[in-house]
Structures are given as C-alpha cells and as structure tokens.
A and B are shown apart, each in its own frame.
Chain A
Amino acid sequence: MKALSQKRRHPLAAIALLLMGLLITGGLYAVATTVNEAKASTTSYSADDVEEGGKLFAANCATCHGMGASGSEAGPSLVGVGAASVDFQVGTGRMPMQMNGPQAMKKPVQFNDEQTRQLAAYVASLGAGPAIPEEGLLDEGGDAAAGGELFRVNCAMCHNAAAAGGALTRGKFAPALADVSGKHIYEAMVTGPQNMPVFSDSNITPEDKRDIITFLKQIETTGSPGGADLGSLGPVAEGLFVWVAGLGVIIAFTIWLTSRTS
C-alpha cells in the first residue's frame, strides 16, 4: 500500500486511473447487458455449409464485397453482418445487386434456399452477427394491437400507417410490406438493410417484433373492410379518384341529359 501511496502523484497516475475507471464501467456494462450481444449461431451450420458458401461467395459476391468479404470500393465488408443480413438480402433477391442506384431493388431471387443457407453460413463464420430468427418468433401468434402501436410509433413514418410504403430523400424509399414474409420483416428489423435503422433487441424486444409481424400479417389478411383500398395511399388517391372517376361519370351523365335526340 505504501508503494501505491508513494506513486499517487506520478504524472501518469491520472491516466491510469481514468483507464481503470473506463475499463471497469465498460466491463460491468458488458456483463450487465447481454441483450445487445451479437448472437452467433454458427453452431447450426456444418463445416461443409461454410465451405460451399465460401465457394458461392467467391463466384458471386466477391467482385464487390472482396475476397473473404473484407469489402472493396464497390461494396462494404460483410464481416460481422451475420446470417440474418445474408438471408434477407439474398432471400429477397436484393443481392446480388442488379445495378447501382439509390438503393438495392427487390427482384426475383437468384439462389435457392440451400445456397442461401450456405452463403449465410459462410458470412456468419467470418464474425458474430444477428442470426436468422427462430420459428417461434415468426408464428404470428403475438398481440396485433400492441404490434400496431409499435408499428405506428417506430415504422409508420417511413412505411406508412397501412404499411403501403413511402418516399425517402433522393430516390430512396421505404417499400410496401404486403407479401413480405415474417422472417424477412424480422431480419430487416435486426439488420437495418438499405436506409432502414437497426431496431436492436434492446430497442424492440423479440416479443415486440413478433407483435409487429402479427399486426402486419393481420392487416394483410383482414383486407379492406370498406371496398377497394385504392392502394392505401390516403387522400391523394381518393382525390384523384373523385376527380377522374367520380366527376368523369357525372360529366358523362350531364352530356347524356343535355343531348338532344335529333
């Protein structure tokens, strides 16, 4: 103790103390919160999957993402993006990307389920990242009303309250969510593809995500109680309809009423 008290006025003492403090706080935080821990589930993939995925990656993805997915000028590094990201991007056809643009567009899927799984296995093996969600979170058995509230607060400003999509800046957009599988919705929330923010498990818990998926699937199956929904686009579509169809039909009637039979 004497040695310690003698060195307490050492010029580096303050720095050492600061370092110690930071390490302890950081360490405690890391221990206390495990929700943000990246869930690497490489265990479920065989070494064979990883090897096959590596081959597929080298043939189809490495041009932009670089050998070993380390990234290049044309594409970001994929180390640590996790299997969920690969499953979303490849599974919805966004990757391999058709062309450069404001954001990757959805298109017909280029790989079968087996190949997608192998690619995911390979990327997951490179570094820990969000895993593909378990079936239990996607069963649409959550609370739709709670999911609706979460959706309106967190998602509707881009995706529209009826999930019909919306515009972002400079040609980017939030897509409509009808016909998107629960798995892809979940993966989008945890990985934040394109311009979407990441909704981590500490932000929206897995159960809340399940509620959101339940809500989206419910409004999709409920359909539109009031007749054709005109794209669920709100008053612009309604205004266009009343001017074109409503007034159009009425003008046709006025012409008929005032035409003379000669």
Chain B
Amino acid sequence: MSAASTAEPAFVAKTKTGRVTDFVDQRVGGSGILREFGRKVFPDHWSFMFGEVALYSFVILLLSGTFLTFFFDPSMAETHYDGSYVPLKGVEMSVAYSSSLDISFDIRGGLFMRQVHHWAALLFVASIAVHMLRVFFTGAFRKPREMNWVVGGVLLILAMAAGFTGYSLPDDLLSGNGLRIIDGVIKSIPVIGTYISFFLFGGEFPGTAVIGRLYMLHILLVPALILLMIVLHLFMVVVHKHTQYPGPGRNDNNVVGYPLGPVYAAKAGGFFFIVFGVLALMAGFFTINPIWNYGPYDPSPVSAGTQPDWYIGFVDGALRLMPGTFGDWQVEQTWLGFVFSFNVLLPALVPAGILFTVMFMYPWIERWVTKDDREHHVLDRPRNAPTRTAIGMAGFVWYCVMWAAAGSDLIATHFSVSLNDVTYWLRALFFIGPIIAFIVTKRVALALQRKDREIALHGRETGRIVRLPHGEFIEVHAPLDEYKRYKLVGFESPQVLPAVPNEHGVVTRKEKRRAFLSKWFFEDRVAPATPAELEAAHGHGHEAVEAPEAAKSLSH
C-alpha cells in the first residue's frame, strides 16, 4: 500500500493561494468537512427560516452587546448626572443609570447600538416563539426530534432570562418597577421566599448588589448556556436532517431540496445581512426603551403604563387578572402567623408552569397516545392533525389572553373602554377562550379535511354549468392533476387504538386512560381518500357530461 502511494506524484497546487489552502487542508481536513456539509440538503420553505432568524439575532446581540460592555458600568453607587441630557442634569442616580445615559447621549453610536441590541433581543425571542409554533403545528417534534424540541424549549426560557436580566441593567424607573414585581413574586413563595429575595438582592430590595449580579448573569452565564444549547440544537439538526412538507416524491427516507453548498450557504449568508439590515433600520428610526424618559430608579414612584418587554408580558398579565378577593374571602391568607400571598404566587407561577410543562411533555404525550414509535421526517399539514392543532391553538389563545392583559391599561385608553371591563372580559376569556379556540380550531380543521377529500374525489368546481338532455343542470368538476391530488390524499391519519391487555392479560388503568385519550384524539377523524375510493370516483369522471347516472354522483 505504502509503495503505491509513494509512487503517485504528490499533488502540488499551481497558485500561491492554492498551496496555502492545501497546506491547511492537509492538517485540518477542511475539504472533507466541506464535502460532507456542502452536500447536506435543505428543503425550501419560508416557514423553515425562523430558527435562522433567531440565530442571526443572537449573533447581532453578541456583537452589539460586546460594544455596550465597553461603556456600561454596573455599579449601584450614587452619583449626580453630568451628561448632555438637560432634563436630568444634576439628578441623583446610580452609576449604572448614568453610564447607560452616557451610552445613549455621549458615546458615538451608543444610542444606535443600544437600540440595535434591544430590538434584536425582542426579535430573538419573537423568532424563537414563531419557530416553535411552526414546529408544533407541523408535528416536527415527533421521533426522532423530541429531545431537540426540549432543547428548543430550554432556549426559549434562556432567551427570556437573557432578556429580563438585560432589561433590568440600566437601573431606570421602568426596569426597577419590573425588578420590584419579580421581588414580590419571589417573596410570595411560602417559607423560603424572603430568604431567596434577601440572598438575590444582598439584603432588602433594592440593595446595592443586584445590578452587578444581573450583569454577570447577563453577559456570562446566560449567553454561555444559550451558546451551548444552540450547539446542541444545531448538532441534532445535522444528525436528524431537516424535515420537509409532504409532496410527491417526498418520504421519510429522503430530503428533497437544494444542497447547502453553494445555494443555501449563499442564501443563509445573505439572509444574515437582511436580518441585520432590518434590525439596523429599526434601531435607526424607532426608539426602544427611552430610559431618559423614565428617570433613575427610586422605589416610591411607579409610572402609568409600566410593562415588561413582550416575552414577560404574559406573566404580568396573569398578575393583573388575578383578583385579590373572592367576595369576602381574601386570597392572601395568614396561617399560623405566616402570610401566604396566593394572590401573587398563583398567577405568577401557575399559568407559566402549566404552559411550559405541557409544552415540554407534549411529544411524549402524543407518542404514548398513538403508540407511534416510527421516525417522522415528513411534516403534517396542521389540518391533518386536528386535535393537535386544536390543543396548540387553545394554548396559544390562553397565552394571548394573558399577554393582552399586560396591556389592559393601553387597551382601555386607546379604545375608549373601561379598564375594569377589559379586566372582566379577559378574566372570562382566560377560562373560556382556550375552550372556544379548541372547538373552533378542531371544527375548522375537520371541515378543511372534508373539503380536501371532496376535491380529491370529485375534482375542482369549474363554475361551468351544463344542461343535460333531460333537463337537469350540473356543474362540471375538473379532475386534479396527480401532484395536487397527492397533497390532498398523501397523509397519515392515526386511528383510535382501543385498550389492549398487557402480557398478564390485564388492561391496566393507565392503558384505559390512554385508550380514552386515543378516542378523544381520533374518534372523529376524517380518513384520507383511499386509492379504491379514488378509483371509484374517478373511473367515470371524464365522461360526466355524457353519462347521466355518473353525473349525479358528481353533482351531489
């Protein structure tokens, strides 16, 4: 072997660049990696790009955030402002707030960078949320991607944590109010709450330590964890390959699309600059978090219209919806000389807890109910999984009700309605909104499936009315071409799986529960048109006009 390889003349690159590249390649094996990655195929669909938007937002966050760390000072020491913003001249404030103001007014490009950073943060979490909605509603979380779904959920929580710790750093009145609410939520935890709060703030709120601590979390721990999770996430994407929408020639064993190199590399590279450009334009033309309006943090004032950034809004909204009393019964109770603030604890932790628990567990719930252990690389159209889509919409509406409640005061002023009425309606919707959403979504999905079935079997309505010799009028239906028909019939439709006994011949209680859920999921399913049905409907489709008895079956 070695004799053979020495006999071959060694490859020598012709140009200098070529020789350098070859030198590097022989040592790191880049061409092999490039060959492997460059051949990875990605399917083309706009809804597959939100993860990319999140990734690019994160890169922009790292770049703009690094710039901000050059000038930000997280000290809570007291100082008197001496910068160029006149309405705050000489006002006593923390060094953190003062340095944030200096970044905004006295450092070249500072305000722009602050605004890029903050807009990118909002877009980062928003694109993660939309990405997760896409993954959920198309069933992309199914085997083998359950763990990647969990990693994505962890990324969402980390993104919220990154956002909240960053929001608090300028030590302005708005963010201080937000911290105070967090402090209240922590203190409402029975028994240990006060201790945790004193530990976090280094004494009674607000103390002199919290900004520095949040800063360390914000620039060190949270981004490091996000980076780690992104690596895991992308690694699993490469291992699993990308999912694809159903279509002719697409199945669980292939991926139809373009290779990464050169098409997707170019598209992705260009897309980074598009996201950067959109964020830069937003930062250049639209104010975000005008900290100079809010003034330095002082525990006594609370401004009207105080809200958290959008991704924490649903928790704030739940707090706003919670009544303090039910009739004469106080939600805040004193037991054995200890105060239990359930009016804060319940809304702050329970809805978020339910949302995230169901979200993390959903892939396993569906896997258990359907007993489906196969790999899925072809996505579901949302209508073809009516119960899942309806569950997703119920959760989405529940979230949106709480989210809207965080802006209840602005809804009241901008639509000239009573703040109390907004709260009452949202309280009612908190309970009935998800139920209505579930029922409506499921009915719409089933109706769309029936429509699909109808079109697959009988073709498209042409709007051409024909009168038959014996006087009857029919509308001529045009048959679909095979590609379009495939989309309407080529999907999986799980059926109800009744309870089966285990190896001991016993139907366990758990199995009964599973069977009940299976019935609830799939009992009213609309089955896709089978080849036999298609054949029966289609055999006489073309001669519809000539054959009256066939035309009857078409026109019903």
Interface residue ranges, A against B (CB under 8 Å): 102, 144-145, 148-149, 152-153, 156-162, 164-171, 173-174, 215, 218-219, 222, 224-230, 232-239, 241-243, 245-247, 249-251, 253-255, 257-258, 260
B46, A173: Cβ atoms under 8 Å?
no
A164, B285: Cβ atoms under 8 Å?
no
A227, B87: Cβ atoms under 8 Å?
no
Chain B nearest Cβ from A187, distance in angstroms: 21
Which of B88, B301, B412 is A167 in contact with, Cβ under 8 Å? Answer: B412
Q: If the complex has contacts A246-B282, A247-B127, A257-B267, are A166 and B413 also in contact, measured as CB distance less than 8 A?
A: yes
B122, A254: Cβ atoms under 8 Å?
no
Chain B nearest Cβ from A189, distance in angstroms: 17
Q: How far is the CA of A234 from the CA of B178 in the complex (A)?
A: 13
Interface residues of B in 391-434 (CB under 8 A from A): 406-410, 412-413, 416-420
Q: How far is the CA of A161 from the CA of B45 in the complex (A)?
A: 45
Q: What residues on A are CB-neighbors of B122 within 8 Å?
A: 238-239, 242, 246
B271, A161: Cβ atoms under 8 Å?
no
Q: What residues on B are CB-neighbors of A102 within 8 Å?
A: 418
Q: What residues on A are CB-neighbors of B271 within 8 Å?
A: 253-254, 257
Chain A nearest Cβ from B182, distance in angstroms: 15
Q: What residues on B are CB-neighbors of A148 within 8 Å?
A: 87-88, 91, 295
Segment of B286-294, B324-332, B443-451 in the binding face: B286-294
Segment of B308-316, B456-464, B513-521 in the binding face: B308-316
A254, B287: Cβ atoms under 8 Å?
no
Chain A nearest Cβ from B50, distance in angstroms: 8
Q: If the complex has contacts A225-B105, A254-B49, are A236 and B410 also in contact, measured as CB distance less than 8 A?
A: yes
A161, B127: Cβ atoms under 8 Å?
no
Interface residue B26 (Cβ < 8 Å from any Cβ of A) = no
Q: What residues on A are CB-neighbors of B300 within 8 Å?
A: 153
Q: How far is the CA of A173 from the CA of B407 in the complex (A)?
A: 15
The 9 closest A-B pairs by CB, nearest first: A166-B304, A239-B310, A226-B287, A161-B303, A167-B409, A171-B418, A162-B293, A254-B46, A167-B412
B307, A234: Cβ atoms under 8 Å?
yes
Most chain B CB inside 10 Å of its own CB: which residue of A153, A225, A226, A232: A226
B304, A235: Cβ atoms under 8 Å?
no
B305, A234: Cβ atoms under 8 Å?
yes
Interface residue B278 (Cβ < 8 Å from any Cβ of A) = yes
Interface residues of B in 269-283 (CB under 8 A from A): 270-271, 274-275, 278-279, 282-283
Q: If the complex has contacts A149-B295, A241-B286, are A236 and B91 also in contact, measured as CB distance less than 8 A?
A: no
B290, A229: Cβ atoms under 8 Å?
yes
In the complex formed, the residue of B with least CB distance to A101 is B416
Chain A nearest Cβ from B375, distance in angstroms: 25
Interface residue B189 (Cβ < 8 Å from any Cβ of A) = no
| Interface pairs (20), CB distance under 8 Å | A148-B87, A161-B173, A167-B408, A167-B409, A168-B419, A169-B420, A171-B417, A171-B419, A173-B412, A224-B287, A225-B111, A225-B287, A225-B292, A226-B287, A233-B410, A241-B286, A249-B278, A250-B123, A253-B274, A258-B45
